[in-house]
Amino acid sequence: MELLIVGTLNGQIGAASKIAVEHGGHVSLADTIETALEILRSGKSVELVMIDVKLDVYKFISSLEQERINVLVVACGVANDPTLAVKAIKAGAKEYIPLPPDPELIGAVLAAATRENHALIYGDKKTESILKMAKQVAPSEANVLLTGNSGTGKEIFSRFIHDNSKRANKKFVAVNCAAIPETLLESELFGYEKGAFTGAVARRIGKFEEASDGTLLLDEISEMDIGIQAKLLRAIQEKEIDRIGGKAPIKVNTRIIATSNRNLEEAVKNGTFRQDLYYRLNVININIPDLKDRSGDIIVLAKHFIKKFSELNDLPMKDLTPEAEKILLNYLWPGNVRELENTMHRAVLLSTSDQIDTDAIILTDPTAVREPKETKQETPTETGPAVQAPAGDGTLAGMERRMIIDTLKHTMGNRTSAANILGISIRTLRNKLKQYQEEGIEIPDSH
């Protein structure tokens, strides 16, 4: 996680930097907007910018848009200055963080900006087999295509390949092709020269150059426009790229790892993905199964997330009860590891006993459970009751409402923290809360 802090933050730079570092981030500092732009043009990977609300946030964000620089911007300022906060949001900042910084809030923002977590935790034989194959191909120079549904951990596996390659001491650069608008992706990948277009006030290094001698991850490559695919194919074949507005090609030595949650063979048939690019990328194909198909990972990962979020929220470490473990193992995890992570984060926050029991396990879709024939059924005995579903009003909507309200209570009404814990956008959360208010349901106020 690369964080860029712009301005003095009312003397809170040290505190904000410390919190970021504790969450696995790397921090760069810029006194002025121009210095920040120079850092971003240089090709340095920055995933989140925290800018002092007293600076000209509108000018900064306008410059980013004009220069086609795609990065998440969060404004920061003293809590008693709502006028500047509103102004910053209207200027295009995604969120506002009051100062002095709250560790939990900054942690939530950092988590929203990136899912980066280099730890590869597993306990299933299938995962072990995948890692064995990944480790075997890692030292080669072959391009790798990782396939699998969303949330299965494809980026973590890609980092594992990089860390076990001959390029391990070089840069690993990730580009989310689905998150960057089509109009910006070309400049993000290949960079541009000064004057290449209106707003290009200086040369900018693209991700291909930044990752030269290292590894470039093209996440969700199936979302890439077919026009850019042609330029990507040339970059892979010729090992050179053309900056937008450039006069001569630039040699690069970049290994490509691509991921897709779609069937690329079908995309080729449909004409949305180039066949020649598919063959260039698919030298080695590794498929990551859904979490439900590697059940040996579920409890191992759950305990890992309990430890992670207990430490993050300064809460005592708790064990899972056997009944809670059965619920986790019986669930189909449509959102895969990402959903499990959010579920255990909620469980850590909502658990009120000395263990994490079934009442703290709130599933996104309680109907997504294994068929009875796949799971040994529990029957009531003197020593242990049957597994019970978490309490609620019996409907999915009721379960969802309880989950949102309970999480909001824990965050003392802070919408940003609650949205990130729940794994939903702040807009979705606000719409839900508006609906609940119209239904006469009391909503926790912010403190």
pLDDT number for residue 23:
60
- Structure tokens belonging to residue 24: 């696995």
Q: Are residues 284 and 300 in the same domain?
A: no
- pLDDT classification of 34: cutoffs 50, 70, 90: very high
The residue-averaged pLDDT of 197-218 equals 93
Q: What does the pLDDT read at residue 389?
A: 32
Domain C-terminal end among 262, 289, 316:
289
Helices 336-350 and 322-330, packing angle to 10 deg: 150
Its domain, for residue 425, covers 296-438
Residue 118 forms part of a structural domain: no
Res. 264 pLDDT band, cuts 50 70 90: very high
d(CA 165, CA 156): 14
* Better-predicted residue by pLDDT, 22 or 179: 179
Residues 97 and 178 in one domain: no
Residue range 151-165: average pLDDT? 92
Tokens of 37: 């732009």
Which pLDDT score is estimated for 385? Answer: 33
Phi first, then psi, for residue 174 (nearest 5°) are -110, 135
Higher pLDDT, 387 or 256: 256
Residues 215 and 315 in one domain: no
Are 196 and 238 found together in one domain? yes
Asked whether residue 445 is domain-assigned, the answer is: no
Quick one: average pLDDT of 338-356? 92
Which tokens belong to 4? 């860029």
Number of domains in the chain: 3
Split at pLDDT 50, 70, 90, the class of 430 is: confident
Residue with tokens 């860390």: 163
* 268-325 residue pLDDT tens: 999 999 999 999 999 999 999 999 999 999 999 999 999 988 987 889 999 999 999 9
Task: Mark whether 151 and 94 lie in a shared domain.
Answer: no
Average pLDDT of span 174-191? 91
Does one domain contain both 143 and 252?
yes
pLDDT band at 262 (very low <50, low <70, confident <90, very high): very high
pLDDT per position as a tens digit, 40-97: 888 777 878 989 888 999 999 999 888 888 888 888 887 666 788 888 888 888 888 8
Which CATH number does the domain housing residue 419 bear?
1.10.8.60
Residue 119, in any domain of the structure: no
